[in-house]
Amino acid sequence: MTVPHPTRRSPITRRRVLQGAAVAAGTAAMPMLARAQSGTPSDTLRIGFVSPRSGPLALFGEGDGYVLDLVRRHTAAGVPAGGKAVKLEFIAKDTQSNPVRAAAVAKELINADKVDFVLSTSTPETVNPVADACEAAGVPALSTTSPWEAFYFGRGAKPGEPSPFKWTYHFCFGVGNFAKLYTDQWSKVATNRKVGMLLPADADGNAIRGLLMPALHKAGFTVFDAGPYQNGMTDFSAQIAAFKKEGIEIFNTFPFPPDFAVFWRQAAQRGLAQQTKIVQMAKAGLFAVELEALGQLGHGLHAGAYWHKSFPFNSPATGLSCAQLAEGYEKASGKPWQQQLGATASLFDAALAAVRGAVNPKDRAALAASMARLKTETAVGDIDFTSGPVPNCAPTGLVGVQWLRGKGGGNKFGIEIVSNADHPKVPVTAQMTAYSLKA
């Protein structure tokens, strides 16, 4: 919204998250399917997979290796396409959470590894530069886990004009999903309806500022924007003072995970956390390790989730239900399940459905055409590229969640679904409560 760690984990610090892993995991993955002796390279569909496995966004990529291994095993005999079983080879690359490197590894996949198809996931900092490289090279690409507006408009498309993209497709929630979710979720706790927004100067922040804030105003909330800030900022005293002065009781933010931890500790020191009743995170607050690092400050924080182990869907690419996917990851890694597991699984679900739907998946135009008409089940729910909201994009749903200490056993954090207005097929698992931090 994951490289296995030992069961006993050392605390996650801001410095450690910013530095990321010492070695990028899975820079070049082994082929999932051994080529038959009579086969040739042209018999195999080569698929590149790009995600952040190290750096400040590393939490998003923490489970990607696990999911990829599941996909390899489940499709070891190939997938049916064009009247035959097509063999698959996956090559994984780490962006190190750097947009420049994301573009570079995409070009490496295209020019050196000669891939036929590129997949990417996790925030505009990953998917946008990868998509741009693929669009320029005429290579089919599919991505997820970034608001679709940041992917579509953030890459130069204009409202009301034809799509400028021929090769790149994306499915994910959008700003409209946040508006629907927040309007419902925030109605579950009594507040003065004053919202403080902390938005970075990046693609996510720009999309939210331009689209979500007007929607919240229309829904009857008073919204105060503290102004854009640079990712990696270490002193939020001015923003905190402004939020206190405005009397906000709902706080909403879309930061890099390390930045939220810095902000919320300072908010507690300066009294803002004590006056806030709803603390709504996006981009940050998606993973249990973040909450555990905050300790008591993390109890009761709210977020939107794009996947949960209680989702009543299956992942065709792994052959598992959502509950089985979460359980298997916990057993294999010794760590709590996390929502990017399902999102990454859904990326492979959609990608393999596109391969199966292509007359000849080795033909770039045929594969792109298959994505354009794609309707399929995934771990995050059904996706449909034929119904918009804009060309090249398909929407998915969000649920409102709340982090509760002790739900994961002892002092560990668990996540409960408290709002499903934007994704009604998903069951609610708990009643939402106000954030409460005593001074």
Q: Domain map of the chain by residue range?
A: 14-173+310-395, 176-305+398-419
Q: Residue 411: what pLDDT?
A: 65
pLDDT at 320: 98
pLDDT for 439: 43
- The pLDDT assigned to 438 comes to 60
Distance of CA 58 to the CA centre of its chain: 12
pLDDT at 11: 40
Q: Which segment of 46-50, 263-267, 363-367, 413-417 scores lowest on mean pLDDT? A: 413-417
Residue 140 has pLDDT above 90, yes or no: yes
Judge whether residue 136 has pLDDT over 60.
yes
Taking domain 14-173+310-395, whether its CATH number is 3.40.50.2300 is answered by yes
The per-residue pLDDT of the chain, averaged, comes to 89
pLDDT in tens, 179-196: 999 999 999 999 999 999
Phi, psi of 59 (to 5 degrees): -60, -30
* 222 C-beta neighbours (distance < 10 Å), count: 15
Is the model's pTM score more than 0.85?
A: no
Backbone angles phi, psi at 199, to 5 degrees: -125, 130
At 409 the pLDDT is 60
The tokens describing 322, both together, are 């959502």
Does residue 38 carry a pLDDT above 50?
no
pLDDT at 31: 36
388: left (phi over 0), alpha (psi -120 to 50) or beta: left
Q: Give dist(CA 216, CA 437) in Å, integer.
A: 26
CB 326 within 8 A of CB 343: no
pLDDT exceeds 50 at position 4: no
Q: How far is CA 24 from CA 2, 29, 289, in A?
A: 11, 12, 20
- Mean pLDDT check: name the lowest of 351-365, 388-402, 407-421: 407-421
> 43: which 2 tokens?
């018999």
Residue 35 has pLDDT above 60, yes or no: no
Q: How confident is the model at residue 37 (pLDDT cuts 50, 70, 90)?
A: very low
The arithmetic mean of pLDDT across residues 158-175, rounded, is: 95
Report phi then psi at 251, rounded to 5.
-115, 130
Q: Could you check whether 14-173+310-395 and 176-305+398-419 share the same CATH topology?
A: yes
pLDDT at 285: 87
Query: In terms of CATH, what superfamily is 176-305+398-419?
Result: Response regulator (3.40.50.2300)
Band (pLDDT 50/70/90 cuts) for residue 217 is: very high
Given a cut of 90, whether residue 47 has pLDDT beyond it is yes
Q: Edge-to-edge strands of the sheet including 302-305? A: 222-225, 194-198, 250-253, 278-281, 302-305, 399-405, 413-419
Smallest Cα–Cα separation from 129: which of 24, 202, 225? 202
Residue 410 — very low, low, confident or very high, per pLDDT cuts 50/70/90? low
What is the per-residue pLDDT across 322-347, written as a single tens digit (0 to 9) for each?
999 999 999 999 988 999 999 999 99
Phi-psi region of 82 (alpha: psi -120 to 50; beta: other; left: phi over 0): left
Model pLDDT, residue 407:
74
